[in-house]
Amino acid sequence: MTRWLGFVLVILLGLTAGLYYGWVINPVRYVDTIPSSLRIDYKSDYVLMTAEVYQAEKDLSLAVRRLGFIGSENPLATVQDAILFATQKGYPDADLTQMRGLENAVKTWNPSLNQTTP
């Protein structure tokens, strides 16, 4: 019994020391990170959220600006990459439908028509 108690105490001590070191002494600090560095699963979720907001607002230029926030490439490629990932990972059909609706809208987007003149 004493052997098991010693084992558990050593494990708890190591866990406590590791957490203290990681959170207090040397915590991770993110500096100058950019949204385009997100993994594809997070980007796909962001595209889905953008598609949901687009369905409610119907403001395509705002949706395209939101898509530009997570990628420097063209917005259509961002949406298509997200749809490909979502299809592979088995997103629900309702989510895929919203994403495809955004994709179709972005295909018709013309940036020269959306620029305001002073």
- pLDDT one digit per residue (tens) for the chain, 118 residues: 788 998 999 999 999 999 999 999 998 887 777 788 888 999 999 999 999 999 999 999 999 999 988 876 788 999 999 999 999 999 999 999 999 999 999 998 877 655 444 4
Q: What is the pLDDT of residue 112?
A: 65
Residues 50 and 20 grouped into a single domain: no
Q: What is the pLDDT of residue 72?
A: 66
Q: Are 85 and 44 in contact (CB under 8 A)?
A: yes
Residues 9 and 26 grouped into a single domain: yes
Q: What is the pLDDT of residue 118?
A: 40
Q: Taking Cα atoms as reference points, which of 79, 73, 71, 77 lies closest to residue 96?
A: 79
Q: What is the pLDDT of residue 57?
A: 93
Q: What is the pLDDT of residue 48?
A: 95
Model pTM above 0.75: no
Query: Cα torsion at 83, 87, 91, 93 (round to 10°)?
Result: 90
Domain span at 23: 1-31
Q: Taking Cα atoms as reference points, which of 117, 82, 118 lies closest to residue 100?
A: 82
Give helix then strand counts, H and E, for the chain: 5, 0
Q: What is the pLDDT of residue 69?
A: 87
Q: Taking Cα atoms as reference points, which of 86, 72, 85, 82 lies closest to residue 35?
A: 72
Q: What is the pLDDT of residue 110?
A: 74
Residues 23 and 62 grouped into a single domain: no
Residues 17 and 68 grouped into a single domain: no
Q: How many domains does the chain have?
A: 2
